Amino acid sequence: MEAHNGLSARIVEGAGFQGIWASGLAISAAMGVRDNNEASWTQVLDVLEFMSDATSIPILLDGDTGYGNFNNARRLVKKLEQRQIAGVCIEDKLFPKTNSFINGEAQPLADIDEFCGKIKAMKDTQQDEDFTVVARVEALIAGWGLDEALERAEAYRQAGADAILIHSKKVNIAEIEDFMKAWNGRHPVIVVPTKYYTTPAQRFHELGISTVIWANHNLRASIEAMQRITQKIFCEKSLIDVESRVATIDEVFLLQQADELQTAEEKYLPCSGKLTGDRP
Ligand code: SPV
Ligand code: MG
């Protein structure tokens, strides 16, 4: 499930999800910039650090193209491991990338050998054997067809990717079904059903898909909620009809784990009475 900052990451964990998708679209949108690598990779790392500190479940970073060539990508792995990020997904496009749903056909794909070198460099760099590198195939998005998608997925599997993310912008699951049938269970597959959202989860199970990413729904939920409340307060210049429609302040404190600080203060701070009492 998507998260884009410490708060949303904590909400995802609280709901019971087993993993977090640190979405490039959502993180950049939350910063008020486009999904075109306008936020620098170290700015993304800073956000991830808050997400990692706030949670204990695995975080998979949407690492775009790896922010450069193999050298940038392997340095990314080193920095992610230092922040206890569980894995990273890289996509076979060119830096600076554009979101797959914006004019996908016009976007050039990476050279297969160059992308395989990037995957190998990342796998060679990881220190933790559980760190995961996911290779995202954009051939269907770019309109290059099923054969190209299969060739790329197989090359990335052989290069050492731990899973393949096959992306589609079709409103039905047909091309994902075709891919899964031809792929025939060779390696774990991840999907992102943002556009084919009407597909029941059971169908993903039947096709043998390992992981489903709900990629941007916390971002979109928050946009809708913020626009509604901001507009209401602007129009009414009053909070009378607003209070019951927003989270309570106590809920904010709960998500910040304010109670932990109170307990720690009792343990570590000298009580003020004792301080003054000790003085002659
Ligand atoms: C993201 O969440 O940033 C993704 C998925 O990469 S998508 O927006 O569908 O390309
Ligand atoms: Mg992305």
**72-88 confidence digits (pLDDT tens):** 999 999 999 999 999 99
- 264 pLDDT band (50/70/90 cuts)? very high
Among all ligands shown, which has an atom nearest to the Cα of 217? 1
Q: Which of 11, 197, 7, 190 is nearest to 87 (CA)?
A: 190
Q: Determine the average pLDDT of the residues in 215-233.
A: 98
Question: In degrees, to the nearest 5, what angle opens at C-alpha 226 toward C-alphas 225 and 232?
Answer: 95
- 258 pLDDT band (50/70/90 cuts)? very high
User: Which pLDDT value is given to residue 154?
Assistant: 99
How many whole angstroms separate alpha carbon 152 and alpha carbon 187?
A: 13
Per cent of the chain over pLDDT 70 is 97
Per cent of the chain over pLDDT 90 is 95
Q: Does pLDDT of 277 surpass 80?
A: no
Mutate to test the pocket of ligand 1, among 62, 65, 176 (most ligand atoms within 8 A of CB): 62
CA of 204 to the centre of ligand 2 (A): 21
Instruction: Write down the domain spans for the chain.
Output: 2-216, 222-270
User: Which pLDDT value is given to residue 280?
Assistant: 52
User: Which pLDDT value is given to residue 106?
Assistant: 86
Phi-psi region of 205 (alpha: psi -120 to 50; beta: other; left: phi over 0): alpha
CA of 206 to the centre of ligand 2 (A): 26
Ligand 1 pocket, residue 192 CB under 6 Å = yes
Instruction: Give the global pTM.
Output: 0.95
Q: Which of 125, 155, 167 is nearest to 24 (CA)?
A: 167
Which ligand 1 atom is at minimum distance from the Cα of 169? 9
User: Which pLDDT value is given to residue 8?
Assistant: 98
Angle of helix 41-54 relative to helix 6-15, nearest 10 degrees? 40
User: Which pLDDT value is given to residue 279?
Assistant: 58
Average pLDDT, the chain: 96
Q: Which regions of the chain does DSSP assign to beta strands (E)?
A: 2-3, 20-22, 59-62, 87-91, 132-137, 163-166, 189-191, 211-212
Mutate to test the pocket of ligand 1, among 23, 59, 138, 219 (most ligand atoms within 8 A of CB): 23
SS3 150: helix
* H/E run at residue 214: none
Partners of residue 81 on adjacent β-strands: none
Among all ligands shown, which has an atom nearest to the Cα of 107? 1
SS3 128: coil
Quick one: CATH architecture of 2-216? Answer: Alpha-Beta Barrel (3.20)
